[in-house]
Structure 1
Amino acid sequence: MKNTILGMHHITAIAGDAKRNFDFYSNVLGLRFIKKTVNFDDPGTYHFYFGDEVGSAGTILTFFPWGAGIPQGRRGSGMATEIGYSVPKGSLEKWVERFEKYNVIYNKPSERFGQRYLTFLDPDGLKLEFYEVENDTRKPWETDEVKADIATRGFHNVTITLNNIKGTAGVLTDIFGYTLIGQDGNRYRYAVDTVDQAALVDLVELKDEKLGHVANGTVHHVAFRVIDDESLMYLREKVVAAGLNITPQIDRNYFHSLYFREPGGVLFEIATDNPGFMIDEALEDLGKGLKLPAKYENIREDIEAHLAPLN
């Protein structure tokens, strides 16, 4: 596990209304709200984290809800366009019933790489997919309405759309240790063998697809997991050696990160397991309080007055 990519760490997307985003992911999808903080570069904006009980890497979906006035984004080339979750085998019909109840836009179940999946949109137009996975042993987070028989287990895959996959595929295989394991038309599936789950990246090649626009309802970046800081800096050297520009290490309180744009234009992050989400809240209290980085504590009252209430 040392000095290797361990699948996905988290995915970050952009939303509009904060309360609508909170309600959809915590109530409709039944994810645990594990952290309420702010964008470290823009403290006037929330940063929400949703995941499993403890915020395990490979389950964490985060959002910058920038408010109702934000322009709508556009899925297209040079961006992550679909987020795939793992759900239990036989659960898609129950999810269809739930989506009908909550007026969620969805397509009828289909099949890809031998797995049934269900595509749907969140209230901001972010595209998600539920894949039926038979042997996902990750412990689900349960709510009063979303029980273990349908609850998500964490990420299954992420889809990246590109005009040409060559440069991105090179980063996945030569730097991150992924291997091409399948092709379905213009969709190429890559996997790492270091973990059993959250291990898949699909590259879709659409030569004439227009560039996407990152704004409301789109993915901001995809973060890949490493076990610790030593592994993080080892991967940094590999990215530099490949001739790509990458940031210094950045402290995100709950993990340490590096950022770079891969040749296709997608913002990639590499993030550590340490120190984790219980550094400032007990397990039972995750997501309950507004947690700020130390540099913003002196303006907490101003920040709290600006942020929209969730209750």
Structure 2
Amino acid sequence: MENRILGLHHITAIARKAKKNVDFYTKVLGLRLLKKTVNFDDPGTYHLYYGDERGSAGTILTFFPYEDARRGSAGTGMATNIGYSVPEGSFDFWIDRFEKHNVIYNKPSEKFGEQYLTFLDPDGLKLELVIPKNPDNRLAWETDEIKANVATKGFHSVTLTLRDIKGTAAVLTDVFGYTLQEKSGNRYRYITDAVEHAAIIDLVELPNEARGIGGAGTNHHIAFRVKDEETLMAFRQKVAKAGLNITEKIDRNYFYSLYFREPGGVLFEIATDNPGFGIDESWDQLGSSLLLPPQYESHRAEIEAVLPSLD
């Protein structure tokens, strides 16, 4: 595998009620709950991870569910839409499912020659199901109600809304190795050929749009994937050389990370494949128990006392 950015690693968003979040993403959308842990900076708040069977990069959606969070407002300077790849012919299933569970959705539409179905999670976070031009061969996580012929396969794309795309586009092309694939109106599609899937970033330019306000129902950051720490640190040098402030390497237990804010205002992370989600639970037990970062283990009783029940 080359020393390149390998598409999306994960996306992190903000929610309110933890139990409602778990119920929606596992029961309605059919993702696997990979990890129940806590926010490194606020151990009284969960950090919940969802994805495929083993938490493959490019499938991982995570949440900070602050029980009393204000409602955010999507706008410029943030990721505003998460696209999931689904099999051809699955939209009827999903529309029926959204009707059954009172999920807000729009009728299917098309962009860049691909059909998509927009819907909102319980906090108003905007997501899409996309039927990709090229069949997605990733192995889907199945549930009793959602089988592989209709299940999500992982990320298709993420949309960033910006007042001016120039600086963001330069990071994608000059630092991360993406290329402009096509343009439609004020939407610009960038893609990397380093991976087959989770490879697309759409930039939407809205010069007069209000800046986004973080809160429940908005995205906190998006993370790009690299294979290991050596590649991670090589990209740290590239980002710094581009004149952007970037953090030191941070250990996030399941991956190592760097963070920087790109010129359009979106918080970018670069995250490694290693060590992965199997370091503290067996694969068949992922997400079954509360796992704490080592520095908080001695405070487990106090933390468990303030975290809301997910049952």
TM class by shorter-chain length? Answer: over 0.9
Match of 1:171 in 2: 171
- Give a deviation string over 1:131-162, Cα, whole Å, max 9, x none: 01351000000000111111000000000000
Within 2, Cα distance between the matches of 1:187 and 1:35?
34
- What is residue 9 of structure 2 aligned with on the other side? 9
For residues 96-153 of structure 1, the C-alpha deviation after alignment (integer angstroms, 9 at most, x for no partner) is 0000000000000001110100000000000000001351000000000111111000
Kindly state the Cα deviation for residue 70 of structure 1 after the two structures are TM-superposed: 1.1
Q: Which residue of 1 aligns with 2:92?
A: 93
Superposed counterparts of 1:67-106, under 5 Å: 67=67, 69-106=68-105
2-side partners of 1:97 and 1:182: how far apart? 33
Aligned counterparts of 1:8 and 1:214: Cα–Cα separation in 2: 21
Give distance in 1, aligned partners of 2:212 and 2:3.
32
- What is the SS of the residue equivalent to 2:302? helix
Q: Which residue of 1 aligns with 2:243?
A: 243
Give runs of aligned pairs for residues 127-138 of structure 1, distance below 5 A: 127-133=126-132, 134-138=134-138
Deviation at residue 3 of structure 1 after TM alignment: 2.4
Per the TM alignment, residue 49 of structure 1 is displaced from its structure 2 partner at its CA by 0.2
Amino acid at match of 1:237: Q
Amino acid in the other structure paired with 1:99:
F
> Which one-letter code corresponds to 1:86 in the other structure?
S
- 1:135-146 equivalence runs, <5 A: 135-146=135-146
Alignment of 1:174-253 (within 5 A): 174-253=174-253
* Distance in 2 between residues matched to 1:212 and 1:74, nearest whole Å: 5
CA deviation map 1:169-209 (0-9, x unaligned):
00000000000001111000000000000000000001100
**3-state DSSP of counterpart to 1:279:** coil
Q: 1:107 aligns to what SS in structure 2?
A: coil
How many percent identity over aligned positions?
Answer: 67
Distance 1:309 1:150 in 2: 30
Q: Which amino acid aligns with 1:157?
A: S
Name the aligned partner's letter for residue 128 of structure 2.
E
Match of 1:60 in 2: 60
Amino acid at match of 2:115: R
Residue pair 1:2, 1:231 contacting (<8 A) in 2 also: no
Matched letter for residue 277 of structure 1: F
Residue 276 of structure 1 aligns with which residue?
276
Separation in 2, partners of 1:236, 1:43: 28
Runs of 4+ more than 4 Å apart: none
CA offset at residue 2 of structure 1? 3.3
Matched with 2:260 is 260
State whether structure 2 residue 107 is matched by structure 1 residue 108: yes
CA distance in 1, matches of 2:112, 2:233: 35
SS at match of 1:302: helix
TM-score, length basis structure 2: 0.99
| Counterpart amino acid of residue 257 in structure 1 | S
Distance 1:43 1:94 in 2: 38
What is the number of residues matched between the two proteins? 310
Alpha-carbon shift at residue 94 of structure 1 (Å): 1.1
Corresponding residue for residue 43 of structure 1: 43
Write the distance in 1 (CA, Å) between the matches of 2:159 and 2:92. 23
| Alignment partner, residue 18 of structure 2 | 18
Instruction: Give the whole-Å Cα distance in 1 for the aligned partners of 2:301 and 2:184.
Output: 53
Amino acid in structure 2 at the alignment position of 1:88: P
Does the CA-based 8 Å contact 1:3-1:235 persist in structure 2? no
Identify the residue that residue 119 of structure 1 maps to in structure 2: 118
CA distance in 1, matches of 2:32, 2:22: 10
TM-score, normalised to structure 1's length? Answer: 0.99
SS in 1 for 2:236: helix
State the alpha-carbon separation in 2 of the partners of residues 53 and 36 from structure 1.
15
Report the RMSD for the aligned CA atoms in angstroms.
0.6
For structure 1, which runs of at least 5 residues remain unmatched after alignment? none
Task: Return the alpha-carbon distance in structure 2 between the equivalents of residues 291 and 89 of structure 1.
Answer: 37
2:24 and 2:182 mapped to 1: Cα distance? Answer: 33
Q: Which residues of structure 2 form unaligned runs of 5+?
A: none
Distance (whole Å) between structure 2 residues aligned to residue 235 and residue 167 of structure 1: 17
* Aligned counterparts of 1:22 and 1:12: Cα–Cα separation in 2: 14
